[in-house]
Structure 1
Amino acid sequence: MVAVILAVLAAIAYGSSDFVAGVASRRMHYALVGVFGQVSAALITVIVSLIVGGSPTIGAILWGGLGGLGGALGSLALYRGLARARISVVAPLSGVVAAVLPALVGLAIGDRPGPVAGIGLVLALPAVWLVSAAKDEQPDRPSGVLDGLMAGVGFGLLFIALQQAGSGSGLWPTAAEQVLSVPPALLFYLVARRRIVAATGAPPPGDVLTVRTLAGPAAVGVLGAVAVMTYFLATHVGMLTVVAVLTSLYPAATIALARFVLSERISRQQGAGLLLAGLAVALITAG
């Protein structure tokens, strides 16, 4: 039960972080939001890790660093896919792959969910797809299959690596993960900025930083730090198979916030996905 609660909290935090990042990206370039979000998340996880204590082993830090590279790959591929390809393919494909890979690893290392929880896990996968899928207003775009697969593999690697880091090093693996995610995010933004300046002669939106523009990315980082720490804790009190699949339901939180905060409409497909996600969580909890 504790693992389920922590995994659901991680999903809510991840989904809320994505929502805030989307809103903040209306004022500044999304890659810059990512950079400052990662920096603030790294600071928070380092501070919390110092407070919690623990003696980080080299192995735990290496696993955390590998998770950071996976998270960076997943984020960059997802951002690129959402920007240039078909959202209705990229988002759900990344979510399902991010759920399936850790689930398979969990089964390989001995996870054996009960029959009721197993049904919930099976239902969670189409729930991720339905909730993430959005109406494609530009069907002539590239399909985005490669971007979706890369994003899913990256996030799946992140989920697996944090579980493999073990529980004897405090929260330091999460700090390593967040710190190692900063350089790729910064490099991606610098490349994007150079292209924008070359094409338009002007810097991207939000390039001049103010307290107002930094508030959104800071919130993204806080939520991201909460997400990664609760996920990390969940994997060490529960099965990776269950925790990773539940965490991959994070798009449900993003869609719900868009509905209630921005009054965006929820399609029938997404509504069915939300209901299916709720049923999946209930079955996994009961199992």
Structure 2
Amino acid sequence: MFMILLAVASAVAYGTADFLGGTASRKANVFTVVAISAPASLAVEALVLPFLGARWSAGSIGWGALSGVASAFAFALLYHALSIGPMVVMAPITAIVSAALPVMVGLAEGEHLSAAQAAGLPVAVSAIMLVTVERSVSVASVRPRAIAVACLAGAAIATQLITLDQAPHDSGVAPLLAGRAVSSLLVLGTAVAIRRRIDPGRPPVKIAAAAGTLDSLANLLFLLAARSGLLSVSAVIVALYPAATIVLARVVLTERISRTQWFGLATAAAGVALLALK
């Protein structure tokens, strides 16, 4: 049950971070936003180091670095997707892709699910699909480019989760620190390289930094959840993060939530309940 609570908390943190990042990217270039978010994430992980410790090894550094590369792409692609398309469509598309790959990897590595958990996987995926349904904003009306970016963002998020899980489970926050250091360098380097070709706008620094802080917290919670349970279960629960994004989009941006989407949120709760059973 503790693993489920960690995964749910991670999903809420991811969803809130994505909402803040997408909102910030509507006011400034995505690279400018990510250049603020990534270092903020690194600072948070450095702060928790004394409490959780770190064991530096080739495995923790290597897998952490790979997760950092994936994280840099995930940051940029996801925030870009949320800035060029409606959040109620972009976030769930990304989530479905990000859930599928870790499940396949976990099962391929020999993870065994209980009957309830096996039933919970399709219920959770169905919940993600249900929250995409919006009569006023159909997937068919969204530009193909936006959908493609959302799918790539999902693949990047999945790669980040998979590589973090591959790091030694006794490595503490070493993989997170290595990953965030790499992603920060990549993001900042890219921002500097293209600074003359972009209009930075007026980036909302506090919002961008808050997005990075919550993303870092979400990563930490996922890592703890995956270490105490199954990757396939943790990843699917974390992939329910669009629920938080959509609720915030409704409250803050007044984006409409249909009855079907509310049913999807209820279905998500049922899916989590099934995944919690052994």
User: What is the TM-score normalised by the length of structure 2?
Assistant: 0.88
For residues 252 and 93 of structure 2, the distance between their equivalents in structure 1, rounded to whole angstroms, comes to 26
Q: Does residue 32 of structure 1 match 2:48?
A: no
Relative distance call for 1:35 and 1:65 in structure 2 (3 A) is: same
- Once structures 1 and 2 are overlaid, which stretch shifts more, 60-69 or 262-271? 262-271
One-letter identity of the residue aligned with 1:282 = A
User: What are the superposed Cα offsets for residues 256-275 of structure 1, whole Å, 9 maximum, x if unpaired?
Assistant: 22233444321234223212
- Tell me the CA shift for residue 45 of structure 1: 0.6
RMSD of aligned C-alpha atoms? Answer: 2.5
Q: Which stretch of the first structure deviates more once superposed, 181-190 or 252-261?
A: 181-190
Q: Give the Cα–Cα distance (whole angstroms) in 1 for the partners of residues 133 and 7 of structure 2.
A: 22
Tell me how far 1:131 sits from its aligned partner.
Answer: 2.4
Matched, 1:114 2:110: no
Q: Does 1:161 align with 2:163?
A: yes
Q: Kindly provide the amino acid, as one letter, of the partner of residue 195 in structure 1.
A: R
CA distance in 1, matches of 2:133, 2:74: 18
Contact 2:131 2:260 in 1 (8 A): yes
Question: How many pairs does the alignment contain?
Answer: 276
- Tell me, in whole angstroms, the C-alpha distance in 1 between the residues paired with 2:168 and 2:123: 29
Is this contact kept in 1: 2:39–2:184, CA < 8 A? yes
The CA distance in 1 between the partners of 2:106 and 2:15, in whole Å, is 23
**Residue deviations 1:47-82 (CA, integer Å, cap 9, x gap):** 312442232211111111111111222232333444
Tell me the CA shift for residue 27 of structure 1.
4.1
CA deviations 1:224-270 (Å, max 9, x no partner) are: 11100010000000000100000011110111222334443212342
* Contact 1:19–1:257 (Cα < 8 Å) also in 2: yes
1:205 aligns with 2:201: yes
C-alpha distance in structure 2 between counterparts of 1:218 and 1:79, whole Å: 13
User: Would you say the 8 A contact 1:90–1:148 is kept in 2?
Assistant: yes
Counting only pairs closer than 5 Å after superposition, residues 91-110 of structure 1 correspond to structure 2 as 91-110=91-110
Residue in 2 that maps onto 1:210: none
**How far apart are the structure 1 equivalents of 2:147 and 2:60?**
32
Per the normalisation by structure 1, the TM-score is: 0.86
Percent identical residues: 36
Partner of 2:229: 238
Question: What's the offset of the Cα at 1:174?
Answer: 1.0
> Does the CA contact (< 8 Å) of 2:68 and 2:181 recur in 1?
yes
* CA shift in 2, pair 1:88/1:193, >3 Å: farther
Contact map agreement 2:25 2:79 (CA 8 A) in 1: no
Aligned to 2:128: 128
**Please, which moves more after superposition, 251-260 or 74-83?**
74-83
In the other structure, the counterpart of 1:220 is 211
Distance verdict in 2 for CA 1:82–1:16, change over 3 Å: closer
Compute the displacement of 1:151 (Å). Answer: 1.5
